[in-house]
Amino acid sequence: MTRSARPAILLVDDEPHSLASMRMALEDDFDILTADSADQAMTLLREEWVQVIFCDQRMPGRTGVQFLTEVRESWPEIVRIIVTGYTDPGDMAEAINAAGIYQFLTKPWHPDQLLMAARNAADLFAMTREHERLSLEMKHLGTTAETKLEKRRRDLRERQGFDAILRSPQSRMNAVVEMARQYASFDISVLLSGEAGTGKQELARAMHHASLRAEKPFLALNCAGLPDELLELELFGARRGAVPGLATNRIGLLQKADRGTLYLGGVESLSAKMQMALMRVLREGAFLPLGGHEAIRSNLRLICGLTGDLRALMAEGRLRTDLGYAISAGEITVPPLRGRRGDVAILATACLFDAASLHGKQVRGFDDVALGFLENYDWPGNLRELENEVTRMLIFAQDPLLGADLISRHILQADPGEDGADRALDPILTREGTLKDRVELVEMRILRETLTRHRWNKSRAAAELGLSRVGLRAKIERYGIDDPSGANATEEED
């Protein structure tokens, strides 16, 4: 099959002089192919690229309509024109229905009339092909756009999901994330307990994006320090005029989070009134906006954050027992940063590059000494304190590689703290691991506590613990316990 830059027209007629006349009228503008029968025309169509057919109606064997009907079945894009001396309405209707005839050209035809019909037919063929091309492109673009949209959604879910919780392969957070992943697929209320700044809201967001509610809103509110009036407005919303200065209706978070997830942090700070109101929402699945007269239903998932111990708060009467159990169908304890030693370097580096991108400053990272100091600090302010320290280091950095000289003095000089969940025995007694591993953790903490209390006088520490000085030194080396002040330890006795 060959193709030409000019449109190709096939002329089909059993009269030689008719073929010659049509060729003469059209050959200046088109490539012309001729056939004196339907069979010969079919052979040409299988070998040549044809845009338009002019076919005589009355031919031996098959009529023009019969031939063009076959053409329509095999090459529907070809524009088909009948040349006939008869214009019976019945024949015309049959031709249009059966063969999809574009135009009837009556004999005798004028050369200009024939040429105009050919040009219009060729233009129609070109436009039809262009329309098909554009339709395919639009379909492809639509599919591509959907694919890109789905990819963006997937990337967003990954960035906001569990993959966004940075941690090392040996991190304590791995068990926390696995537990959260299990709870995420079950539509129940979950309580996240842990110190302030440990990333409870980020974990709640990750659970939302791993749940069946992922396509719906995730909203968050920290209740700590907010007065009841503001909390009511934020959670329940208000009708116009219900609050001084409110000129329009205010939609609350309970309504905005419908079919999505609402995270409430600091629930231990809720007043008795707000605890009762929240309990009513959980029990009835509906709430009344301020100044409203009709309850609004909301199908939301509630994830709460708590600073403190749930059962202690309920025992002390600071948290309603029914509310405490209602918000804790699932419970997850988020460890403090000082209990995630292997994660600090990863988190600090991520904070550094985020801050560098935000402030437009080029950095390469931290040197090993700086990372060592950051890893060994207890971070009582958890992730927020780490982010602040890294940003401060970035501000004062003169070189792309940040060194320990940029670290705040209180971090460089700090002794390991003795407060917090990781210093208590409960996490060790309840965590996973062999008996040997868990006993060694207890032993390491006792050694560190005793050495710190005796200001790293090894003789005094050994005497209290009933160890020889050689035995104490061996344990210090075994556990890699270092004096955080950097001073040389003494073994002198009083």
Do both 438 and 404 map to the same domain?
Answer: no
- 51-96 pLDDT tens trace: 999 999 888 888 888 898 889 888 888 999 988 876 555 566 666 6
Q: What is the pLDDT of residues 288-319, one digit of tens each?
A: 999 888 889 999 999 999 998 999 999 999 99
How far is Cα 56 from Cα 81, in angstroms, rounded to an integer?
A: 9
> 302 with 213, same domain?
yes
Q: Is the pLDDT higher at 449 or at 28?
A: 28
Same domain, 373 and 458: no
- CATH number (domain holding residue 274): 3.40.50.300
Structural domain for 171, as ranges: 163-335
* Ranges 104-108, 252-256, 425-429, most confident: 252-256
Phi first, then psi, for residue 415 (nearest 5°) are: -85, 155
Domain presence at residue 109 = yes
Q: Is the pLDDT of residue 28 over 80?
A: yes
Q: Among the three residues 367, 383, 413, which one is the final residue of a domain in this structure?
A: 413
Interval 170-181 mean pLDDT: 90
| Mean pLDDT value of segment 148-172 | 68
Mean pLDDT of the chain: 83
pLDDT at residue number 255:
92
User: What per-residue confidence (pLDDT) applies to 311?
Assistant: 93
pLDDT tens digit string along 30-57?
999 999 999 999 999 988 889 999 999 8
Per-residue pLDDT at 465: 87
Residue 221 lies in a domain: yes
Residue 344 placed within a domain: no
Same domain, 319 and 195: yes
pLDDT at residue 112 in the model: 85
pTM for the model: 0.55
Measured CA to CA, the distance from residue 176 to residue 183 in angstroms comes to: 11
Quote the pLDDT of residue 176. Answer: 93
In a domain, 295, yes or no: yes
Same-domain status, 296 and 168: yes
Give the mean pLDDT of 326-345.
91
Evaluate whether 424 touches 387 at the Cβ level (below 8 Å).
no
- 393 pLDDT band (50/70/90 cuts)? very high
- 268 with 368, same domain: the answer is no
Q: Is residue 13 part of a domain?
A: yes
Name the residue among 334, 337, 346 with its Cα closest to residue 306: 334
Considering only 123-132, 210-219, 377-386, which range has the smallest mean pLDDT?
A: 123-132
Split at pLDDT 50, 70, 90, the class of 405 is confident
Return the number of other C-beta atoms located less than 10 Å from residue 312's C-beta: 11
Q: What is the pLDDT of residues 362-389, one digit of tens each?
A: 888 898 878 888 888 889 999 999 999 9
Average pLDDT over residues 203-222: 92
pLDDT of residue 421: 32
Percent of the residues in the chain that have a pLDDT greater than 90, as a whole number: 39
Secondary structure (3-state) at 303: strand
For 190-205, the DSSP string reads: EEEE--TTSSHHHHHH
Q: Counting every residue, how long is the chain? A: 494
Residue 494 lies in a domain: no
User: What's the CATH code of the domain at 470?
Assistant: 1.10.10
489 located within any domain: no
Domain count, the chain: 4
Question: Could you tell me if 318 and 379 lie in one domain?
Answer: no
Q: Are residues 82 and 18 in the same domain?
A: yes
Bond prior to 380 in cis (omega within 30° of 0): no
Q: Are residues 102 and 211 in the same domain?
A: no
With both helix axes pointing from N to C terminus, report the angle between 64-74 and 89-99 in degrees, rounded to the nearest 10.
Answer: 20
**Residue 79, in any domain of the structure:** yes
Residues 125, 174: one domain? Answer: no
Cite the beta strand spans of 326-405 per DSSP E. 330-333, 365-366, 401-402
170 and 308 together in one domain? yes
Q: Domain check: are 322 and 377 in the same one?
A: no
Please tell me what DSSP assigns to residue 241: T
- Distant-in-sequence, close-in-space partners of 379: CB < 8 Å, separation ≥ 6: 336, 337, 338, 344, 385, 386
Q: Work out the average pLDDT over 281-290.
A: 90
Distant-in-sequence, close-in-space partners of 137: CB < 8 Å, separation ≥ 6: none
pLDDT grade for 1, boundaries at 50, 70 and 90: very low
Q: What CATH number corresponds to the domain at position 374?
A: 1.10.8.60
